[in-house]
Amino acid sequence: MSIAPEDLKEFHWVMTMIQHIDVGLVVLNRNYEIQVWNGFMENHSIQTSFHTRGRSLFEVMPDIDEDWFRSKAESVFNLRNRAFTTWEQRPYLFKFKNSRPITGTADFMYQNSTIFPLESTSGEIEYISLLIYDVTDVAVNSLELNQANQRLEKLSQTDLLTGLNNRGYLDQSLEREFKRLKRTKEPASVVIFDIDHFKKVNDNYGHLVGDKVIQLVAKTLMDSQRETDVSGRFGGEEFVILLIGTPADSANFFAERLRKKIEKTVVETPEGDLTFTISLGIAEFDNDIRTSVQWLNRADQALYNSKESGRNKTTIYSK
Amino acid sequence: MTAGAPITLSEDHRDCFQEITNVAIGQAADVLSRMLNVFIVLPVPNVNILEPSELTMALTAVDENDSVSAICQGFTGGGVAGEAMLIFNDANFSDIAKLAYDHQAYSDELEMEMIMDAGNLLIGACLNGLASQLEIQFSQGQPVVMGRHVHVPELIDTNKSRWTKTLAIEVNFTIENSPVACDMLLLFTEDSISVLKQKADYLLD
């Protein structure tokens, strides 16, 4: 059989196109032996088509997760379906370097891939074709956006001076826990406290020392609480801790320990050593409380009693 | 399409689309039952013309409900274009994992793997079935896992003005003696509807 020169010409430019297209193109037979390996694959794998032809894909590219790839490819052979994989499922099928090796931020090429069946003239599926798309830019942008959103979310919940949770996040947590407690009825207590005569610290030592005092209190609080407790800076020199699974007497134990720790804390200033104290109020969760705000108000009333009766002490709310 | 002309479906057309889908999902169910070694309960597909607001509601429900995952994939060919959507209840995943991936511990990666595999199989088989009956061939785009790649309300907002009406075919797959279920929506664009009607007329003759 002779081939017309026109057909040969067409065959030539189709092959040139396949060779140069910026998408990885691989054809495999039933035994996963490579039949086609285009220019994209040659250049990124640094293995020539001449060298790879007829060899097993898993031998040429030992990084491929063989079981995983076989399970996808077998369904294409058997069910004649197209199979798609995304970079979010697996970052890549072939471990290639970033196609922008100098300015790219990812170490490797993120890939989407499509596997589709190639029907022979007799209708059998003897070959499958594999398309590899370089989606590094999309993947990196998407991942960076996610990270940025997470940072923003964290930032929007954090009090910048102390690193504690801020008022907004504290209110949300309190509301969420309150609803949960209404259902579970397990014990829990809210502790609210503030620094005694804080205005005098600011007036006598300056705002920088004032800030340092607040930071020290925050640090002491963070060191004292359990992982499950939620705490935060409620306002100027006011702090709140939500103690989960803790009745009032245990909360009192926690509060007293915190009070004594802070009493012993010394801040060195140019004007000499500074010590300070805190007053605390505790309110235990009670099913007759209607809102999280009311719960916090009870703790606030207890705090007021501590202040009224001499400061540097803890009071538990009682009806 | 002349402006304002209402798009409706005659009973004949509705029946015809339902029948074509029946054949296609039969093939898809066959594929799935062979993969999982289970019996798939064959549902009766629901064929409807949807207003954008109705579709928006359905999609927003997917987004608002944390325990629902969805994958969607665009297809086009022979003047027929649309998107296939597969919606899972997340409570199902551990059951699906038991059926199909018994050797693996349940994880986020496995969940992604399951969504993609189910999408490849069900959407692929359904589209193949539709295409062969309609004598067209579909190009399929890369599938997108909703809520991971995209935030659904944004997707709807930016497209609001472009949407008009859509032909929706809904299929609910269930597995016998198992709580596993998923919903498949085949959504066709407004300009595909007349092409589909022509194809249906040809089949009805």
CATH number at residue B183: 3.40.1550.10
Domain that holds residue B70: 11-204
Q: Which of B31, B116, B125 sits opposite A84 (nearest CB)?
A: B116
Burial (Cβ within 10 Å: 0-12, 13-18, ≥19) of residue A232: buried
Tell me, yes or no, whether B83 lies in a domain.
Answer: yes
Has the ipTM of the complex gone over 0.85? no
Q: What is the set of domains in chain A, with CATH numbers?
A: 5-143 (3.30.450.20), 158-316 (3.30.70.270)
> Distance between CA B79 and CA A21 in Å, rounded?
27
Q: What sign does the CA torsion over A64, A68, A72, A75 have?
A: positive
Residues of A with a Cβ under 8 Å from any B Cβ are 72, 75, 79-86, 88-89, 112, 114, 133, 142
A88-141 pLDDT tens trace: 888 999 999 998 888 888 899 999 999 999 988 888 899 999 999 999 999 999
- Please, which residues bridge with residue B74 across strands? B83
> Regarding predicted confidence, which is higher, B25 or A128?
A128
Q: pLDDT by residue (tens digit) across A206-255?
A: 999 999 999 999 999 999 988 889 999 998 899 999 999 999 999 999 99
Is residue B2 situated within a structural domain?
A: no
Check B112 against A84: CB less than 8 A apart.
no
- Helix B124-134 × helix B190-204 angle, to 10°: 60
pLDDT at B159: 58
B5 inside domain: no
User: Mean pLDDT, chain A, as a whole number?
Assistant: 91
Residue A79's identity, in one-letter code, is L
Provide the H-helix boundaries in chain A: 5-20, 39-45, 49-52, 57-60, 66-79, 136-157, 167-184, 198-205, 207-224, 248-264, 292-308
Question: Does any domain span residue B132?
Answer: yes
Q: Is residue B1 part of a domain?
A: no
Determine the distance in angstroms separating the CA of A70 from the nearest CA of chain B, rounded to an integer: 13
Residue B81 lies in a domain: yes
Cβ-defined contact of B116 to A114 (cutoff 8 Å): no
Number of domains composing chain B: 1
Whole-angstrom distance, CA of residue B65 vs CA of residue B166: 23
Q: Is residue B3 part of a domain?
A: no
